[in-house]
Amino acid sequence: MTRVSVNKFEDWRTEARALLDAGTAPHEADFVDARSGQAALDLVPDPGPRPAAVTRVPRKFLDLAGMVSCFRDPNRWNLLYRILWRITHGEQHLLADHIDDDVEKFRTMEKAVRRDIHKMRAFVRFREVNTGAGLEYVAWHRPDHLIVEANAPFFVRRFGSMRWAILTPDESAYWDLKELRFGPGMPRSAAPGDDELEDLWRTYYGSIFNPARANLRAMRAEMPVRHWATLPETQIINDLLRNAGSRTISMVKEQPGSARLWIPERPTLPAMKDAVQGCEGCDLYKIATQAVFGEGPRGAAVVMVGEQPGDQEDQDGRPFVGPAGKLLDRALKDAGIDRDEVYVTNAVKHFSFEERGKRRIHKKPTGPQISACRPWLEAELGLIKPEVVVCLGATAALSLAGRDVRIQKDRGRFMDTRWAKRLLITTHPSALLRMPDRSLFDEQYAQLVNDLAMVAEFVQRKSA
Ligand code: URA
Ligand code: SF4
């Protein structure tokens, strides 16, 4: 019998590959869970560096196995090895066999871990703690499974712009704005308790409270009772329920998705630029390389709003740097506007595309995606308070003027808006790049420059 002590999934992976290559059958191997405190002392000595693995392990299995490895049961390592052995010894499609005992256990564990991960995302509550070295946020949570490491990157994406610690009885995670670190588990008493900061925190929670969860019965069913102790929102739930009517209405209007939950509590342009990387307000974050936030001075008199990042913007992480951006630069210059003094952004912050072969073809964002992303744009405009907001093309116009505009009909005249003294709709530079011939291009380009010159004149008159 070969005994192997395993602490983490990576350990198991290395050891399992070595055993597999050595032809060690599952009944000849015993994985001992180092974390459960049962690690035996008569372990085989570390044999030193191992030869590169020769057996191919399917990627799909490894992904699922990573999930299952978080399940709180010292026997999971042996189960994983047994399944791996079977998959690589003639049962490639084992995981599709839903009546197999091993597979059933594996699936049950996987599901439990996924639920627990989801629960942690929904129920972790940070408390503000002033440590003297600045604000920190601390949360205490008791997950059912060993999910802290697997789940921590989510919290980095979601709360990347604040310094935080998530303490759990098994393990703790720390984010210092640069690096994610893990440390030992902490008892409940290590986390901050009731104090005056609680009020602040409650107000925050009230403000992002999701009335869908104000259904007490559903909450109890969804949440093991022991979580209730860590949720001060249960103390204010009656207040919230009283207001839930109007909140529900405004939330429903924002369905199916909204970026609202990802907007930082104290929105500044840099904080939002960080936070937008964690946004999951609609599906677009799943395929894009990164979110592309607006760029330009906080005090800009003019905000230009495009549609969404293009292929190049998606890769560079900056708005209007591709072909449309070059054309915009030229038009701004011809209109007498310095691009460096303009704040440039988009109605939708993630690139929407379709893959055709190797190429990524721009895909128009849908109405729900545009409304899901609007909170970012509104927050940008709310901070900058420009003199003029320029909508480049129909998507920006739809987002800010709120209706279906016909560019050719509605372009080139000032309109009222709550975001600036004036709103102006004009052609998107990408549309010019698609003009079928030179004379049409010239005509449209002249109109674009003309529209931008109106903006320049308005701003100059205001500042004169
Ligand atoms: N088109 C847009 O609308 N925005 C960009 O950032 C680039 C191209
Ligand atoms: Fe969030 Fe907007 Fe990206 Fe959708 S497109 S995930 S709403 S930032």
Q: What is the pLDDT of residues 53-73, one digit of tens each?
A: 566 788 889 989 999 999 999
Q: What is the pLDDT of residue 252?
A: 32
* Ligand 1 geometric centre to CA of 368 (Å): 19
| pLDDT tier at 19, thresholds 50, 70, 90 | very high
Ligand 2 site, residue 158, Cβ cutoff 6 A: no
**DSSP secondary-structure letter at 286?**
G
pLDDT of 403 above 80: no
Q: What CA–CA distances, in Å, run from 305 to 314, 423, 449? A: 16, 11, 16
Q: Looking at the CA of 288, which ligand is closest?
A: 2
Ligand 2 site, residue 164, Cβ cutoff 6 A: no
Q: What is the pLDDT of residue 225?
A: 46
- Mean pLDDT along residues 237-255: 40
Residues in the chain: 464
Structure tokens at 399: 């987002």
Q: Which of 158-162, 188-192, 221-225, 375-379 has the lowest mean pLDDT?
A: 221-225
Q: What is the pLDDT of residue 162?
A: 81
- Average model confidence (pLDDT) across the chain: 82
**Helix, strand, coil % over all residues of the chain, rounded to 5:** 50, 15, 35
Structure tokens at 415: 């309109």
Phi, psi of 359 (to 5 degrees): -90, 150
At a CB cut-off of 8 Å and minimum separation 6, what does 131 contact? none
Q: Which of 102-111, 225-234, 345-354 has the lowest mean pLDDT?
A: 225-234
* Ligand 1 geometric centre to CA of 350 (Å): 10
* Ligand 2 geometric centre to CA of 374 (Å): 9
Q: Which residue has the higher pLDDT, 396 or 164?
A: 396
Q: What is the pLDDT of residue 332?
A: 98
**DSSP secondary-structure letter at 288?**
S
> Is residue 106 within 8 Å of residue 99, measured between CB atoms?
no
Structure tokens at 220: 């109890």
Structure tokens at 51: 């030869």
Q: What is the pLDDT of residue 157?
A: 83
Q: From CA 275, how far away is CA 155, in angstroms rounded?
A: 11
Ligand 2 atom at minimum distance from 365 CA:
5
**DSSP secondary-structure letter at 335?**
T
Q: Which helix (H) or strand (E) holds 446?
A: helix 438-463
| pLDDT tier at 420, thresholds 50, 70, 90 | very high
Structure tokens at 164: 């935080």
Ligand 1 atom at minimum distance from 430 CA:
1
274, 326, 318: which is closest to 296 by C-alpha? 318
Ligand 1 atom at minimum distance from 306 CA:
3
| pLDDT tier at 98, thresholds 50, 70, 90 | confident
Q: What is the pLDDT of residue 71?
A: 96
Ligand 2 site, residue 282, Cβ cutoff 6 A: yes
pLDDT of 347 above 60: yes
At a CB cut-off of 8 Å and minimum separation 6, what does 137 contact? 126, 127, 128, 129, 159, 162, 163, 164, 165
Q: What is the pLDDT of residue 398?
A: 93
Q: Is 181 helix (H, G, I), strand (E, B) or coil?
A: strand
Q: From CA 340, how far away is CA 381, in angstroms rounded?
A: 17
pLDDT of 41 above 80: no
Sign of the dihedral through C-alpha 361, 364, 369, 370: positive
| pLDDT tier at 223, thresholds 50, 70, 90 | very low
Ligand 2 site, residue 281, Cβ cutoff 6 A: yes
* Ligand 2 geometric centre to CA of 249 (Å): 22
pLDDT of 141 above 80: yes
- Mean pLDDT along residues 394-405: 87
Q: What is the pLDDT of residue 164?
A: 85
Q: Which of 373-387, 395-409, 422-436 has the lowest mean pLDDT?
A: 395-409
5-35 per-residue burial string, b: 16 or more CB within 10 A, e: under 16: bbeebebbbebbbbbbeeebebeebbbbbbe
* Ligand 2 geometric centre to CA of 209 (Å): 20
138, 143, 132: which is closest to 162 by C-alpha? 138
Q: Which residue has the higher pLDDT, 77 or 154?
A: 77
At a CB cut-off of 8 Å and minimum separation 6, what does 151 contact? 117, 120, 121, 143
Q: What is the pLDDT of residue 108?
A: 94
Which residue owns the Cα nearest ligand 2 atom 3? 350
Q: Which residue has the higher pLDDT, 77 or 162?
A: 77
Which residue owns the Cα nearest ligand 2 atom 2? 373
Q: Looking at the CA of 380, which ligand is closest?
A: 2
Q: What is the pLDDT of residue 133?
A: 56
Q: Ligand 1: residues whose CB is within 6 Å? A: 306-310, 313, 319-320, 322, 324-325, 346, 430
Q: From CA 43, how far away is CA 415, in angstroms rounded?
A: 77
Q: Looking at the CA of 157, which ligand is closest?
A: 2
> Is residue 294 within 8 Å of residue 342, measured between CB atoms?
no
pTM of the model: 0.51
Rounded (10°) CA dihedral 177, 182, 187, 193: 0
* Ligand 2 geometric centre to CA of 392 (Å): 19
Q: From CA 256, how far away is CA 202, in angstroms rounded?
A: 26
- Mean pLDDT along residues 135-163: 86
* Ligand 2 geometric centre to CA of 303 (Å): 19
Q: From CA 348, how far away is CA 447, in angstroms rounded?
A: 25
pLDDT of 48 above 60: no
pLDDT of 262 above 90: no
Mutation test of ligand 1: which of 292, 346, 392, 427 has the most ligand atoms closer than 8 Å to its C-beta?
Answer: 346
Q: What is the pLDDT of residue 247?
A: 39
> Is residue 375 within 8 Å of residue 260, measured between CB atoms?
yes
Which residue owns the Cα nearest ligand 2 atom 8? 349
Taking the CB of residue 118, how many other CB atoms lie within 10 A of it?
Answer: 13
Q: What is the pLDDT of residue 212?
A: 43
Q: Which of 18-27, 29-38, 281-290, 325-334 has the lowest mean pLDDT?
A: 29-38
Query: Residue 344, class by beta-carbon neighbours within 10 Å (0-12 exposed, 13-18 middle, 19+ buried)?
Result: buried
